[in-house]
Chains A and B, each alone.
Chain A
Amino acid sequence: MTSDPALHLVPETPTASSKLSIRGVTKTFVQASGERVKALERATLDIGKGEFVCLIGPSGCGKSTLLNLIAGLERPDEGEVLMDGRPILQPGPDRAVLFQEPSLFPWMSVLANLEFALGLIGTPKRERTERAMGWLETVHLARFAMAQPHELSPGMRQRATLARALACQPEILLADEPFGALDAQSREVLQRELQTVWLETRNTFVFVTHNVREAVFLADRVVLMSPRPGTFVAEHRISSPRPRAFEDVLLSKVVVDVHDHLLKEVKGGVATEEGPRPDLA
């Protein structure tokens, strides 16, 4: 595709250490209008244990669909999604999901939201409060434990959602543009926090975004997806050491590279339904 050494065409040969394995997955939706939309076509990707992967691509490239498949909220029409070599059949707390909209239960306090999640993974009742408080401290929200979700700012809500996700002690953290609705400042704070969390937990993170800068800052590997029907077209490995800083000049260069590449993909894509410019903010 290009001579850029940072680029590999996917699929790569699957490795035994794959935490997640997406094998030739096709998923078609029937829209309310009756129109059939192919969101994913024969998508194949392997994600290693403890790897931080960012999926990036124009709107409608099936990023969210892929995440829902991994989460177990949807089932593929063809192909399979494997976790530790076993097909994913249903959602479960071993795969925590951060949606774009913070999804705390509005009738529970922040603390109760975490305690509920802890209860679902079988934490004994008397340990729940202490454990929940511990996770809230991790995201600097301990002071707001008793607050109702709507009393928090959007950024704080997303942090509380992150704390709840972490409290489940998932093996995989899935995130669907979780910071997309936030202002630039809270977004940056949360990106830093997420980096810290990953460094501490070394869990497998799969992060969907259309923000190139965010992807490059966070990921080990940025995977580019083509517009509808979505499939993986290329990937960039980001080998910069962590913790990374936004000011890093090398990272900025990678951002520009990925961005250019993405633009090319969007333009060259079969379905050139006005691919929106990827977000460089």
Chain B
Amino acid sequence: MSRPRRVLDQIWPRVAIVAIIVLLWWAAFESGNWSEVLLPSPASVWDSLVSNLGGSNGLLMVAYRSLFRLFAGLVLAMLIGTPIGLACARWDVVQRSVGSLVGGLQALPSIVWLPLASLWLGFNEKAVLFVVVVGAFPAIAIATAAAVRMVPPNLVRTGRTLGARGWVLYGRVVLPAAVPGYLAGLQQAWAIAWRALMAAELVIAGARGLGHLIARAWGQIDTPLIMATMVVIMLVGVAVDGLFSWVDRRIRRRRGLLVRA
């Protein structure tokens, strides 16, 4: 199959499903059963999207701020979660103690941390970041531990017979072998982080992110802007997810782990 054809095959189903949703939405709007305030037309949402793009508090800048926060939170979560996960995989006693605690933390929806975080750190960006990190690091720790445990024993034995020991064995064999599993954990963690971030921004006005924009539009009953912002949140999500999938596929292809269905 030619390359343009393959690209087309990738694109048309996505366009089609969006078109169908917009059509249904339009039909609902045109039926006149809902007030224009509660259900704006696709056109007015589009107008709101376009007219609110620019400016220091426009969608682009706000999305940029949120993305930066996501990135910062994710890096912090990695710095905390990765060593915890490695320690859990290495020592059973750490797994039983810290590991089970982390498992418990993961069961906690991150937004429930917000009241405490805002009391401890104030109604500001720090509290938002706290919620993001505390939400994302358990997923990273758990995935790291699992990834290391699932390293094929065959590869470790091979490394040992070649004379690799201690840190060399760990750094050159165990860790590289765990990379695909680790990446899967990151992909999960970023999604958790993104949700936590949006929820926290929605509540904490000091953090001018996408969530805050929705909160403001909510106060002004600006439904087109609410919807426009939701669309942007989705688009950013799809883009970041696409980036992770791309890296993941590249690594898997290099290792011959890509299963063609």
Task: Report which A residues bind B (CB closer than 8 A).
Answer: 71-73, 90-93, 95-97, 99, 101, 103, 105-107, 116-117, 120-121, 148-151, 164, 168
Task: Please list the residues of chain B having a beta carbon within 8 angstroms of any beta carbon in chain A.
Answer: 154-155, 157-165, 168, 172-173, 176-177, 179, 254-257
Residues of B within 8 A of A72 (CB): 161
B161 and A120 contacting across the interface, CB-CB below 8 Å: no
- Contact partner of B157 among A73, A90, A92, CB < 8 A? A73
CB-CB < 8 A to A90: which residues of B?
Answer: 160, 165
Question: Ordered nearest first, which 9 A-B pairs have the shortest CB separation?
Answer: A150-B256, A93-B163, A103-B158, A106-B255, A97-B161, A91-B160, A120-B163, A91-B161, A107-B176
- Extra contacts, 16 of them, besides A107-B177, A116-B172, A150-B256 (Cβ < 8 A), are A91-B161, A91-B163, A92-B161, A97-B157, A97-B158, A97-B161, A99-B154, A101-B154, A103-B155, A105-B177, A106-B254, A106-B256, A120-B168, A148-B254, A148-B255, A168-B163
A-side contacts of B256, CB under 8 Å:
106, 148-151
Does the CB pair A105–B176 fall under 8 Å?
A: yes
Closest chain B residue to A120 by CB distance?
Answer: B163
Find the A residue at minimum CB distance from B160: A91
User: Interface on chain B toward A: helix, strand, loop, or mixed SS?
Assistant: helix
- Min C-beta distance of B248 to chain A, whole Å: 14
Q: Which one of B159, B162, B172 lies within 8 Å of A168 (CB-CB)?
A: B162
Q: Are A116 and B162 in touch, CB under 8 angstroms?
A: yes
A253 to B163, CA, bound (A): 41
Residues of B within 8 A of A150 (CB): 255-257
Question: In the complex, what's the smallest C-beta–C-beta distance from A103 to chain B, in angstroms?
Answer: 4
Cross-chain contact B157 with A99 (CB below 8 angstroms)? yes
Determine if B161 and A95 form an interchain contact, defined as CB atoms under 8 angstroms apart.
yes
Complexed CA–CA distance, A90 and B197 (Å): 50
Count the A-B residue pairs with Cβ separation under 8 angstroms: how many? 64
- Residue A117 contacts which of B157, B160, B162, B176 (CB distance < 8 angstroms)? B162
A102 to B169, CA, bound (A): 19
CB distance A92 to B176 under 8 Å? no
**Residues in A whose Cβ lies below 8 Å from that of B179:** 107
Q: Say whether A107 contacts B254, CB under 8 Å.
A: yes
**Most A-side CB within 10 Å, residue of B158, B159, B160, B165:** B158
* Closest chain B residue to A164, Cβ basis: B162
Cα(A186)–Cα(B88), bound, Å: 43
How far is A106 from B253 in the complex, measured between Cα atoms in Å?
A: 10
Pairs across A and B, CB under 8 Å, 26 listed: A90-B160, A91-B161, A95-B161, A99-B154, A99-B158, A101-B154, A103-B154, A103-B157, A103-B158, A105-B155, A105-B159, A105-B177, A106-B254, A106-B256, A116-B172, A117-B162, A120-B162, A121-B163, A148-B254, A148-B256, A149-B256, A150-B255, A150-B256, A151-B256, A164-B162, A168-B163
List, in ascending order, chain A residues with CB within 8 A of B159's CB: 105
Q: Is the CB of A105 within 8 A of B173?
A: yes
Min C-beta distance of B42 to chain A, whole Å: 47
A73 x B160 contact (CB < 8 A): yes
Determine how close the nearest CB of chain B comes to the CB of A158; give it in whole angstroms. 13
Q: What residue of chain B has the Cβ atom nearest to residue A71's Cβ?
A: B161
With CB as the reference atom, state the residue of chain B lying closest to A68.
B157
